[in-house]
Amino acid sequence: MFSLHHVAISVSDLERSIKFYEIFGFKHRLFWEAPDKSLKIEYMQNVDSFLELFCFKEFRTAPQRSKSIDTDLPAIGVKHFALKVTSIEETLVLLTKSGFAKPGTKISQGRTGMAYFFISDPDGILMEIVQDDRVF
């Protein structure tokens, strides 16, 4: 009956974030701007997943703890979003060569059986890259 529709992200530079998420296959679907230019919203789609990017003229930066999986997971709230890939090893090589994954980033095996690693978007928002071959 229900399925995840979109993830909303507040960003500091809309054009920079659009270019970043295009690398992951997200494409423009809708743009809206407040008459007073205080807010821009970009809606992007990748297959059946949507990102809703909010860019406020006057924004507040996220707490530093939210930029690290180690310090953010214990805090209540939304933590990150994940993109699924078919080959985690090939994706890590590609993202490292492209500068989106830090050199030395390791693939981990999750407690629930998925292989994963994390990168950050231009604003430090955590993105998990997963290979999920589990069958339910």
pTM assigned to the model: 0.86
Nearest to 62 by CA among 120, 4, 130: 120
Contact criterion met (CB below 8 Å) for 107 and 116: yes
Pairing of strands 49-56, 6-10: parallel
Residue 107: pLDDT band with limits 50, 70, 90:
very high
Residue 118: pLDDT band with limits 50, 70, 90:
very high
Task: Give the mean pLDDT of the chain.
Answer: 91
Residue 35: pLDDT band with limits 50, 70, 90:
very high
Contact criterion met (CB below 8 Å) for 37 and 57: yes
Contact criterion met (CB below 8 Å) for 44 and 18: yes
Q: What is the dihedral of CA 33, 34, 36, 39, to 10 degrees?
A: -80
Please calculate the CA angle 9-14-15 and round it to the nearest 5 degrees: 140
Residues 10, 103: Cα–Cα separation, whole Å = 27
Give the mean pLDDT of 30-55: 96
Residue 54: pLDDT band with limits 50, 70, 90:
very high
User: H or E element: which one contains 90?
Assistant: helix 88-97
Residue 128 has pLDDT above 90, yes or no: yes
Which residue has 């095996």 as its token pair?
109
Residue 20 has φ and ψ, to the nearest 5°, of -60, -50
